[in-house]
């Protein structure tokens, strides 16, 4: 028997805050400046949804550790500037949160410092305060299941009773690996077909999230 949903686990970037477009733009810029020309699509495939440590390792393998350190430092600086200037919640997200009555938490590849900035800038931090988890707390980032399992364990909920809201391929892969159901948000940079897979419902309007969670309560799938 499929368990009812007891916990909704949100990714942060691209699900709560509309920051992935900012991050992708900066990664493209840094690649051009530092010797690794990348398209937005290549950035989405290689970097989006992954931890800072994973992204650093990818750059270091290509350009060396010193350049990876510079890349990471510049990314943090440019990202912070852009967040202050232009970051907003994902379209429809505030309305969706207001309609969700189940317990919620955040589990992100980003650091706690980054989430304090992005969630704080958009007025969402207080909504999740005390229930925010970072990949820096576990051994392996997404697509490994460690972060989602850590969040569920801390929240006292069985993984099979969790649903994860994600917008990246590593994110939905991590949810599946954790034995959790997934709702793949395709309203951002990642194409819907990359999010599709077993145990996953793909949607492109965040306002539909509450009804999709209700649809999952009995194990039903809504497209």
* Per-residue pLDDT tens digits for 18-74: 999 999 999 999 999 999 999 999 999 999 888 889 999 999 999 999 999 999 999
d(CA 84, CA 100): 28
Q: Residues 163, 9: contact at Cβ < 8 Å?
A: yes
Q: Residues 108, 134: contact at Cβ < 8 Å?
A: yes
d(CA 63, CA 68): 7
| Buried b / exposed e along 187-207 (16+ C-beta atoms within 10 A) | bbbbeeebbeeeebbbbeebe
pLDDT exceeds cutoff 90 at 220: no
SS3 211: helix
Phi, psi torsion values for 150, nearest 5 degrees: -60, -45
Domains and CATH numbers, the chain: 7-17+88-217 (3.40.50.1000), 20-86 (1.10.150)
Q: How many CB atoms lie within 10 A of CB 123?
A: 10
Residue 204: alpha-carbon gap to chain centroid? 15
Hey, which residues are catalytic here? 11
Edge-to-edge strand list for the sheet holding 162-166: 132-134, 104-108, 7-10, 162-166, 181-185, 200-203
This prediction has a pTM of 0.91
Tens digit of each residue's pLDDT (9 = 90 or more) over 116-136: 999 999 999 999 999 999 999
Q: Residues 112, 102: contact at Cβ < 8 Å?
A: no
pLDDT exceeds cutoff 70 at 88: yes
For residue 223, name the pLDDT band (cuts at 50, 70, 90).
very low
């Amino acid at each position: 028997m499929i368990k009812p949903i007891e916990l909704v686990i949100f990714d942060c970037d691209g699900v709560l805050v509309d920051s992935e477009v900012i991050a992708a733009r900066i990664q493209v810029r840094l690649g051009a400046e530092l010797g690794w020309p990348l398209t937005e699509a290549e950035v989405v495939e290689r970097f989006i949804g992954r931890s800072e440590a994973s992204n650093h390792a990818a750059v270091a393998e290509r350009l060396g550790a010193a350049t990876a350190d510079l890349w990471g430092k510049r990314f943090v600086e440019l990202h912070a500037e852009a967040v202050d200037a232009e970051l907003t919640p994902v379209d429809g997200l505030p309305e969706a949160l207001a309609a969700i009555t189940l317990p919620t938490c955040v589990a992100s590849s980003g650091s706690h410092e980054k989430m304090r900035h992005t969630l704080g800038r958009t007025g969402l931090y207080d909504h999740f305060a005390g229930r925010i988890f970072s990949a820096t707390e576990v051994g392996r980032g997404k697509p490994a299941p460690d972060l989602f399992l850590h969040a569920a364990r801390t929240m006292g909920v069985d993984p099979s009773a969790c649903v994860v809201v994600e917008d990246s391929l590593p994110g939905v892969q991590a949810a599946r690996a954790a034995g959790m159901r997934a709702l793949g948000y395709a309203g951002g940079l990642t194409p819907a077909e990359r999010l599709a897979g077993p145990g996953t419902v793909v949607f492109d309007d965040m306002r539909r999230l509450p009804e999709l969670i209700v649809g999952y309560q009995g194990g039903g799938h809504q497209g």
